[in-house]
């Protein structure tokens, strides 16, 4: 993993629930030395979800209703920043495991300057691409 102080990424993701497409979103990820900020946006709506993650601490999500909707396990919630950094700074990352009785799968693969991502958590799927700014 390369040493970083800060990096910014932008891209598009498609979110589906139980194999039914919900919507496409713009995503902005700012990786700083000690924290990661993920913003999921929709044109004309602005920020739909903002996640501020600090390694070893529970992520802060706003609006707060997403804490209950996503129902992240404590382990995932406290390790979002770790997973994001591993995904964004390695050429490939694959995880497929059961964590605290929750199904969790992540697949990240670099294709030139583009990072293709797929995340499955319970009935939610997120797939898309991200480019470094």
pLDDT over 50 at 119, yes or no: yes
Query: With 80 as the cut, is the pLDDT of residue 115 above it?
Result: yes
Q: How far is the C-alpha of 82 from the C-alpha of 63, rounded, in Å? A: 22
Confidence band for 97, pLDDT divided at 50, 70 and 90? confident
* pTM (2 d.p.): 0.83
pLDDT exceeds cutoff 60 at 3? no
Q: Domains plus CATH for the chain? A: 6-132 (2.40.128)
Buried b / exposed e across 100-116, counting CB within 10 Å, b at 16+?
A: eeeebebbbeeeeeebe
- For the cut 80, the answer to whether the pLDDT of residue 66 exceeds it is no
> Which backbone phi and psi does 103 adopt, to 5 degrees?
-75, 130
Look at residue 91 and tell me whether its pLDDT is greater than 60.
yes
Given this model, what pLDDT does residue 1 score? 45
Q: What is the mean pLDDT of residues 96-123?
A: 87
- What's the distance, CA 127 to chain centroid? 10
Asked if 118 contacts 125 with a C-beta cutoff of 8 angstroms, the reply is yes
The end-to-end CA distance of the chain, in Å, is: 19
- Above 90 in pLDDT, residue 26? yes
Give the DSSP H/E element, type plus range, for residue 106: strand 102-111
């Amino acid at each position: 993993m390369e040493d970083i102080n800060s990096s910014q990424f932008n891209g598009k993701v498609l979110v589906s629930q139980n194999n039914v497409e919900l919507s496409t979103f713009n995503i902005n990820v700012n990786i700083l030395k000690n924290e990661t900020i993920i913003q999921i946006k929709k044109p004309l709506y602005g920020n739909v979800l903002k996640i501020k993650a600090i390694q070893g601490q529970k992520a802060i999500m706003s609006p707060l209703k997403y804490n209950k909707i996503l129902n992240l396990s404590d382990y995932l919630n406290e390790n979002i920043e770790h997973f994001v950094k591993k995904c964004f700074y390695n050429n490939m990352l694959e995880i497929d495991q059961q964590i605290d009785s929750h199904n969790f799968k992540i697949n990240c693969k670099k294709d030139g300057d583009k990072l293709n991502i797929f995340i499955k958590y319970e009935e939610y799927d997120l797939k898309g691409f991200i480019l470094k700014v």
